[in-house]
Each structure stands twice: as structure tokens, then as C-alpha cells.
Amino acid sequence: MATSAPGEKFVAEKDVPRSPEAHDVEHGHSEQKSLARNLQGRHMQMIAIGGSIGAGLFVGSGSSLQSGGPASLVIGFIVIGIMLLCTVQALGELAVLYPINGAFYQYGVRFIDPAWGFAMGWQYAIGWLLTLPYHNQLLVSSIHPREATHEYNIAIWIVVFLTTLIIVQFFGVRGYGEVEFVLGVIKVVAVLGFIIFGIIVDCGGIPGDDRGYIGFRYWNDSANGNVAFRNGFKGFCSVFVNAAFAFGGTELVGLAAAEAADPRKSLPKATKQVFWRIAGFYVVSLLIMGLIVPNSSPDLLNSSGANTKASPFVLAIVYAGVKGLPSVFNAVITISVMSVANSCTYGSTRTMQALAQGGMGPKWLAWIDKKGRPVWPVVIQMAFGLLAFINEAETGSTVFNWLLALTGLSSFFVWGSICLSHIRFRHAWKAAGRSVDDLPFKSQLGVIGSYVGCFLVVICLMGTFYISLFPIGGSPNAEAFFESYIAAPIVIALFLFWKTWTRDWSFGVKLRDVDLDAGRRDFDDLPPTEPEQRNNSIGRRLSSALF
């Protein structure tokens, strides 16, 4: 395959097969050829809409309702939702132009600083590695609560779920996509059903519910401890981390771009779906839930752990007196957690493989088999899944809390890095004399959206720092602080490690040195694909018949 001068497109030889949807510009082709591009448009859209709806929404939102109140809950999720919307729009623009493996860390390396990209990549991979055993334990608890079973039964279920994940990985990225599509549809239907159910309950339409019309009663019932804002500003700040955990995984749509069959068509559609997911599936459902669940309920106190009985969505059904339906929604939560566990495996394995391929990890992690599966990263992820057994020990919950603390702020750093990468990309693109009109997909919020996203990330980190240093109902405590904020020093440590390892103490990539062509795919100068040729042929025959 011959290459031309830097910045020019290579000329593909006749005997070299190429992707039907795009050119790879210059030396970017080698970064993509090992991965199987089997994700279809429907997979990408469902990953964007319902891919990460899970324990964060269905269970973790209960602790936010109890600590912050229903108004803080909704406003907090709106703030994180706006931040995520800005992030996904920026990510969509970058990922359509550069659908490269390990998108998040690669963009950080290219547009910000190699050490920052290294830190973002490994903290993202570690975050997913440690999130899997949590969801594994949550799956087991949703089926067999600790008090209702023996420990050996719990162990059996952990093995069953890990085996299921291994089987999914056997089918490669197509298996991940199909599982996410099916489970995503179930989750979306369940959330829509809950919204309808909640409206009926709030209007007093359930015969067995003696509360009658509820309206906004629990927003202004201070006599019973139900208020719109609980614990003042601290309560509001307490929502941010839980909201970030609930939204975490939405960025996987950008990571999946490297394995999408047609990223130019599927990725823009998927990113546009994120708005409806934020508005409908999160904000509206939480608004309805906050209307029909009293925020002073003691049942919400245990909603931050692996306890689906404390799910505010399940409690809303229980309080309405509808029998049988709580079990159905518990099943939905189980399915949702299984879906997120599947996403954990995908996110960590692809990131580890990409880091190794880019020279920022052990070389053996970069190996991909003939079917496009990163075998060794999958083995590592499954091994980390065995950490779910720790929770069966007497001190297991303490160990689990510290493991999860390592992932607490992960999403904030990743989202901020994506927005900053987009800002730097736009500046580099302009400095190179290129027009924004040449981009195959432009962020609907533009570079202003990325500035807003970065600003909101900083605000949320400050709010989280405040609530970590001065917890609700307590005095400053070093253990509580590091349990909430330990992810920040880990990012700094990873950054300094790579600086030390490479002995490169400069900071930032200069705009004139930014590589705008590696991994870039051009969509304009290709002959039509076979389906397009067939459709064009059918169109011409139909036109000739009609006219």
C-alpha cells in the first residue's frame, strides 16, 4: 500500500481489501485493521439510549433522594445530564472523524498531553475492572438476599454470572452488541412503563393506595420530614457522584465507534439519542419517583449498596400496594445490572488492548485473535470479577467500599478530558487552515458546548470535594474524604508516573505538532458500497418505470 505526502490520502491498490465505508488516511489504517467492525446502527443507538441504565438509576438514586431531596435529585441529574450532552456531542464529532481504538485515551494523548492520555486510559480501564465485581454482587443480591440463602448458593450464582459474561465474550463485539440491544429494549420499556405507572399513582388512580391524590405532597410536607431540598447545599452536592455513576457508560458509544460497521451514519444518530435518554429516561422518571416516594422513608437508607429492596423504584410500587409488580421490577433491575456488567467487560478490555497497542501497556495485552477478540484483557476482566467473593467475608463490605472509591470520580475526569480534547482539536484544525465545514459530523453544540462541559466538570468536582471534606451530619474525616475523593490522587499519580517513565517533563501538545491525519477516515471519495449500488440501481429502475 503506497502512501503519499503527509496530509494526503493514500492510494489503495487493487489487491488490498478496504473498508466499504471509508478511507483510512495516511498511517492511521494500521490502528484499525485488527478490530472486527460488526456493530450495526441499531446496536449503537441502543448503547446510547439504554446501555448504562442500571443500578445507578434504579438503586443508587434512592440515597440521593434521601440525602438531597426530590428537587436536588432532579436538578443534580439535569446538571450532570447537560454536562454529558456536551461531552457526547464533542465525542461524536471526534469519533466520526477518528473512529480509533481506545478513543478516550487516544484523544487525550494526541490533543492534550501523552501523560494525561495515559492517566485517562488506565483510570478508565481500572474503573470498569473494579465496577464488574460490584455489579456481580448486586446481581446475586437481587436474586438471593444474604439473609435468605447460604453462602455457597451466593458463590454458585457469582460463577453462573461470570460464566454468562464469558460466553458473551466468545461471540466478540457482535455478542456484546446483540446482548446490549435486547437488554436495552427491556430497560427502556420498563422505564417508560414506570413513568406511566407513576403518573397514575400520583393522580390517585390506584384503588389499593389509600394516599389518594399525591401531587407534590412530598415536596412540601415538613411536618413528616418530606421537603424538596434536604440538608441544604450539602444535600445538593451529594447528588453529583451518584448521578455520575448512573450516567457512567454513555461514553461507550464513542469507544464502540472503532468496531462500528458504518460510524459516519450510526454514530451521529446515536449521539443525538442521548438527549432523549437524559430527558426521558432519567429526569422524567426521577421526577415521577420523587413525587410518589416519601424522601424521609427509612427504607431509602440502604439504597446505596447491593440491595435492590431499597430501590426507590421498587419502593414506589410497594407503597402503592400493587402486588406482584415489585418482583417484576426487581427482575428488570437484575437485567439492567447484567447489561452494565456486560458494558464493564467491553469498556475495560477495549481500553486495555488499545493502551497496549499504543505502547502504554504490556505488549501481550495488545494481542487480538482472528475474530477480533482481545483475549488477555478479557481474561483479566473475568479474574477481577472474582472479587465479588470478597463481599461474603465479614470485612468484605469495607473492602468493597474502598474498591468502589477508586472509581468514584472516574467519569468526571473522562468527560472533562473529552471536552478538552475537542476544544484542542478545534483549535488545531483551525490553525492548520482547515474548515469546520469539512468535518463529516459537527457537534450540534459546537466548541461552546465543550467549554460548558469543562466548566460543569470543574463545578461538580468542587462540589464533590466540599461534601467529601464536610460530610452530611458529620465533621471532617480523613477516611470519609479519601473514600470519596481517592480517584483524584490516583489520576495525578498515573500522570506523574508516565512523565517519570518517559522523562518528558514538558506539558501539552503544541497545536502545530498535533497530528490531524492519523486514524482519520475520509468518506467522500469512495465508490458506493454494494448495498448502495443495489439501492441506486433499484431507484433508477423505479424512476424509469414511473417517468
Query: pLDDT for 123-149, tens place per residue?
Result: 999 988 888 887 777 777 666 555 444
Lowest mean pLDDT across 4-18, 240-254, 470-484 = 4-18
Looking at residue 451, its pLDDT comes to: 97
- 166-205 tens-digit pLDDT: 888 777 777 778 888 888 888 889 999 999 999 999 999 9
Q: What mean pLDDT do residues 273-277 have? A: 73
Looking at residue 482, its pLDDT comes to: 81
| pLDDT above 50: residue 532 | no
**Close Cβ partners of 313 (under 8 Å, ≥ 6 residues apart):** 58, 194, 285, 289, 329, 333
| pLDDT above 60: residue 288 | yes
The residue among 276, 271, 275 whose CA lies nearest residue 251 is 271
Looking at residue 537, its pLDDT comes to: 43
Q: Is the pLDDT higher at 516 or at 518?
A: 516
Looking at residue 393, its pLDDT comes to: 66
Q: In whole angstroms, what is the distance from residue 89 CA to residue 445 CA?
A: 7
| pLDDT above 80: residue 460 | yes
Report the predicted TM-score, pTM, of the whole model to 2 decimal places: 0.84
CB-side neighbour CA atoms (13 Å) of 425:
30
| pLDDT above 70: residue 10 | no
Looking at residue 116, its pLDDT comes to: 96
The residue among 415, 465, 240, 249 whose CA lies nearest residue 341 is 249
| pLDDT above 70: residue 261 | no
Average confidence score pLDDT of the chain: 80
DSSP string of 380-396?
HHHHHHGGGGGGGSTTH
Looking at residue 23, its pLDDT comes to: 45
> Which among 34-38, 88-92, 175-179, 478-482 has the top mean pLDDT?
88-92
- C-alpha dihedral, 321 to 279 to 299 to 52, nearest 10°: 110
Identify any residues that bridge with 221 across adjacent strands, giving them in sequence order.
Answer: 226
CA 382 centroid distance within chain: 19
Looking at residue 360, its pLDDT comes to: 93
Which sign, positive or negative, has the C-alpha torsion 493, 497, 503, 508?
negative
- Domains of the chain, with CATH numbers? 23-546 (1.20.1740.10)
Residue 310's pLDDT band, with cuts at 50, 70 and 90, is confident
Q: In whole angstroms, what is the distance from residue 317 CA to residue 325 CA?
A: 7
Q: In whole angstroms, what is the distance from residue 101 CA to residue 403 CA?
A: 27
